[in-house]
Structure 1
Amino acid sequence: MTKKGICDNFGNCPSKADQHVVIEIESDKEFVCPDCGNRLIPLDEWESRKKKRSLIPFPFILLVLTGVILAGIAFSFFKNSSFVKKKAGLSSSLQPKLLFSITTEDCLAQSLVRPLVLGFLHEDLKGKEIGWREQNPQSTELSFLLPDKTQALINIQTQKTTDGFDHLVSAKNELLISCRKIQAEELKRFPFDMTAPDHEIVIGQSAIAVLVNKQNPLNSLSLEQLEKIFAGNITHWKELNLPYQGKIILFVPDQRSSCSNQTLSSFFRHLPVDGARIKAVGVEEVKKAVLENPTSLGIADYPSVSEISGANGNVKILSLFMKGAEAFKPNRFTIGTEEYPLAFRLYLYVTDKNSSWIHKFIHYVLSTQGQKCVSSLGFVGSGIEEASSGSIPTKGADEGNIIPLNASERYKSLVTGAKRVPFDIRFRFGSKELDNKGIVDIKRLAQFLLEPANKDKGVLLIGFTDNVGNHTYNLGLSFERAQSVANALKKEGITVVNVAGAGEEMPVASNDTEAGREKNRRVEVWLCAKK
């Protein structure tokens, strides 16, 4: 069932409004223009208006035309007289120039996209006279003046990621920013590979944090246990073999204020909504509920709880683990290396990078300033200076348990005295090619090491595999992975001191699933002294 309407945003919507295109919208969707976000006029109402306009008497039309002609003569006179002076600096164009549009989820619009756009405006475009204007609940415009006095706009539209990909198929000068990767069915809609480096760009990372009251003796939880709690298969704390009583009450953020629900659905098979057990509230209400209720368990986006530490108040963040792997607590390091099980990437998708404005925006987001902006918002940007350091950090180190208890003596010997970079290099599925994030991270690492202050630093690379195959085979395969990263670094002029393979040692995810095995295929990057 569809509804038909006309967009009347004339002058600002050339492909729909200016062409008087009849737009069909599904009845269960917002009745707005898919191009500009303007609310549509129902087709029958539009036709009725046209009929009324056609009934205007001819004498009245003649009178209006006469008035227009006289007004034009008067305007021409005053324009060339000393009474009217052209205001210096005003753009000759009456219509603002739309540079590009960004589609994103509600949960990212305020927390990430708006600040990035403002940063781009201040740092790169040097815009002035900045102002926000809400066209409708799903569309906001940032209006500003460029240095050449051109009035310009950047549009931000909020909708579900699935709808965003639908729109991106036919849209021009548009970007999509998402907290999840494009799915197989969505890929089929595009005439090219949207996972290629030119179309899919990782701009940051985040994670889902699991909170409990500090009275709760629980410190770590498996993903399998967490899924059972959500599914209602575990309903009391005692079922986790804890000396702790009480029914588990779940608090999750609502979909508008958090990416947690959408992201959790990519980790778990099903997330039923049970109003008696699962309470959907605002982000701050989640923390308050866990603080006040000893039997509660809360879910929150990492940026909203990153200030919580083990000794801060009555709320604590749990460490999580997958079967056969170490438990990791979410922090900037474990999210950056993707060792924390519920870490996820933030993606920017673009169909056409030929637009100079889009190219400039992407360049800003990936720049040092752009990544600092990402980090300042509580997300995890790429910053080499944030690398955890020390010889062999202790097991309880807050910034990442770098050396697992089951690490081999050979591994410990390799990394002694080195500093680990806060990201791992991973590969495209079923390939030895670096994934899109790895390609960018290699270039960023090279840029860092080529700075004069880092001229004495070299690189140690250690490769890992999943547990498929025997140990000897995996040692060779892990070395090949590390060597492929070494080759990429050498092309950038970087000295690689040592390349090693550790096989299936120290998994960070379960080898029982394909997603887990893919996560275990990685290369750690360490900074060490040049030999």
Structure 2
Amino acid sequence: MLRTLCFRTLLTLLITVFSLSAQAALPVPSDGSPALRIQGSNTLGAQLGPALVEGLMAQQGLQSIEKHPGAMPNEMRITGRTSTGQRVSIDVAAHGSSTGFSALQADKADLAASSRPIKDSELKALSALGDLKSHDAEHVIAIDGVTVILHPSNPLRELSTAQLAEIFSGEVQDWQQLGGSAGPIHVYARDQQSGTYDTFNELVLAKFGKTLVRDAKRFESSEQLSDEVSQDRQGVGFIGLPYVRRAKAVAITDGESNPMLPTMGLIATEDYPLSRRLYFYLPPQSRQHWAKALVRFAQSAAGQAIVANNGFVAQTVQSVKVRATSEMPAQYQSLTRKAERLSVNFRFAQDSASLDNKAQIDLQRVVDYLQAHDKLNQRVTLVGFGDAKSDSARAQLLSKLRAMAVRRELLKRNVILREVLGFGDEMPVATNEGDEGRIKNRRVEVWVE
């Protein structure tokens, strides 16, 4: 209870400070139309999106903030009133990530919420709105882990991505084949419009050349899917981390990685095999003031506090003590004993040596953390990793070059590093057999003493 009260006090303070530092109040439509229209991901739109909207409204000084059901399930209207009594409304429709991009194209939304990156086909279809993969358009709001859930009585504790592909494609149909108790497997999955389904399909099914079994029970609602699995002893499904509820989450392995539960730390660094980013996509040429304000608010300290309070993983940088294991290289084990790892990994754009959009913002988050903890001068070690190469020496060189790329950016921000290390293809967090896994393994960790 005390922790909850402290959190609420902190959140109120953050929103108040943000409000006092805000620019002029956002414009209110005079014709009564919504000030902002958001469509897309159910993972985002069911709880987190509306909570961020309420936070923005509070930051803007609106009063009597309320949520009202929309015309259809998974739709709502959030309203508030200005100090002069003007009514402000924001509409949120949460029918799946793909519907957000369709709504942008049809001019039925100002902001698309997505639980997976925009597809090339969507990028092309929306090219008239600008480059939606650009830094100004693609905004990571939170980190989530696609969580595989079972009935609480199921004895299995871990599954590999290869086993998941066999389960959800229907090739493995009895739990006894996986070392569990005999009984038919009942498959539960998100619906076709869902970004959660798209992510699971890409990271699990498509990677192994599989498709979802035809008789899978499909759901638009993550909460409903989780509740159904928690009541079915033979059930298995996948949802976002905040929706585990009464079900049981299992650890996941991918390739040579160790089994990983969807913990906050492993999801924050995106090491967990089924970790994913949650996005707002805002057309770069947009003049929609409320949409721009919501993106800024979502990435602020107050917005990230709301992210954490809704069960997702915030992008706030924290230090974590890592326990050394025998599988780690000796030099890495030594580092774990004298330093702590920051809860962020720097990753690179696909087919590029450039840091991706999230990493560009994380640079400043790391600098702010180091400055606040007086660690700007020779207290930081960067550790680079890469995907497997035929030449191990080349893999080690490339991993160090990636760490040097981060070093250059930190130097521009007056951070003096202690050391830069490269460990090549050691300690993979994902299989190297696909692009997604290789991108995950091409990472740079930040350690502070």
Q: Same fold (TM over 0.5)?
A: yes
Superposition RMSD in Å: 3.0
Query: Residues 447-467 of structure 1: CA distance to partner in whole angstroms, max 9, x if unpaired?
Result: 122226666883211001111
| Distance in structure 1 (CA, Å) of the matches to 2:243 and 2:151 | 17
Query: Residue 419 of structure 1 aligns with which residue?
Result: 340
Query: Residues 355-377 of structure 1: CA distance to partner in whole angstroms, max 9, x if unpaired?
Result: 44333221111011101101110
| Distance in structure 2 (CA, Å) of the matches to 1:296 and 1:452 | 47
Shift of 1:380: 0.8
SS in 2 for 1:188: helix
Query: Residues 462-508 of structure 1: CA distance to partner in whole angstroms, max 9, x if unpaired?
Result: 00111124111111111110011111112222232211111111111
Query: Residue 144 of structure 1 aligns with which residue?
Result: 80
| Distance in structure 2 (CA, Å) of the matches to 1:170 and 1:406 | 52
1:144-223 alignment, distance < 5 Å:
144-147=80-83, 149-169=85-105, 171=107, 174-189=110-125, 190-191=127-128, 192-223=130-161
Q: Which has the higher relative contact order, 1 or 2, with Cα contacts under 8 A spaced 6 or more apart?
A: 2
Verify the 8 A CA contact 2:66 2:80 in the aligned structure 1.
yes
With over 3 angstroms needed to count, the CA separation of the structure-2 counterparts of 1:475 and 1:453, relative to structure 1, is: closer
Amino acid aligned to 2:235:
S
Equivalent residue in structure 2 for 1:373, among 283, 297, 306: 306
Query: Residue 15 of structure 2 aligns with which residue?
Result: none
Query: Residue 71 of structure 1 aligns with which residue?
Result: none
Verify the 8 A CA contact 1:252 1:281 in the aligned structure 2.
no
1:247 corresponds to 2:184:
yes
Shift of 1:225: 0.7
Equivalent residue in structure 2 for 1:361, among 276, 286, 294: 294
SS in 1 for 2:320: coil
Verify the 8 A CA contact 1:133 1:140 in the aligned structure 2.
yes
With over 3 angstroms needed to count, the CA separation of the structure-2 counterparts of 1:404 and 1:217, relative to structure 1, is: farther
Query: Residue 388 of structure 2 aligns with which residue?
Result: 467
SS in 2 for 1:496: coil
Equivalent residue in structure 2 for 1:229, among 156, 167, 192: 167
Query: Residue 19 of structure 2 aligns with which residue?
Result: none
Amino acid aligned to 1:196:
S
How many residue pairs get matched? 415
- Between stretches 156-165 and 430-439, larger displacement belongs to 156-165
SS in 2 for 1:438: helix
Verify the 8 A CA contact 2:52 2:303 in the aligned structure 1.
yes
Amino acid aligned to 1:333:
G
| Distance in structure 2 (CA, Å) of the matches to 1:408 and 1:223 | 25
Verify the 8 A CA contact 1:97 1:150 in the aligned structure 2.
no
SS in 2 for 1:413: helix
Equivalent residue in structure 1 for 2:268, among 336, 345, 353: 336
With normalisation by structure 1, the TM-score equals 0.71
Verify the 8 A CA contact 1:372 1:381 in the aligned structure 2.
yes
Equivalent residue in structure 1 for 2:279, among 347, 367, 380: 347
Equivalent residue in structure 2 for 1:300, among 239, 248, 266: 239
SS in 1 for 2:272: coil
Shift of 1:215: 4.7
Equivalent residue in structure 2 for 1:326, among 250, 258, 283: 258
Higher Cα radius of gyration: 1
Unpaired stretches in structure 2, ≥5 consecutive residues: 1-26
With normalisation by structure 2, the TM-score equals 0.83
With over 3 angstroms needed to count, the CA separation of the structure-2 counterparts of 1:132 and 1:246, relative to structure 1, is: closer
Shift of 1:246: 2.2
1:130 corresponds to 2:51:
no
1:82-93 alignment, distance < 5 Å:
none
Amino acid aligned to 1:480:
L
| Distance in structure 1 (CA, Å) of the matches to 2:99 and 2:224 | 29
1:70-85 alignment, distance < 5 Å:
none
Amino acid aligned to 2:306:
C
Shift of 1:324: 2.1
| Distance in structure 2 (CA, Å) of the matches to 1:248 and 1:481 | 44
Query: Residues 33-92 of structure 1: CA distance to partner in whole angstroms, max 9, x if unpaired?
Result: xxxxxxxxxxxxxxxxxxxxxxxxxxxxxxxxxxxxxxxxxxxxxxxxxxxxxxxxxx99
| Distance in structure 2 (CA, Å) of the matches to 1:287 and 1:139 | 20
Amino acid aligned to 1:206:
D
1:518 corresponds to 2:439:
yes
Query: Residue 312 of structure 1 aligns with which residue?
Result: none
| Distance in structure 1 (CA, Å) of the matches to 2:78 and 2:162 | 44
Amino acid aligned to 2:187:
L
Verify the 8 A CA contact 2:344 2:446 in the aligned structure 1.
yes
Identity value in percent: 28
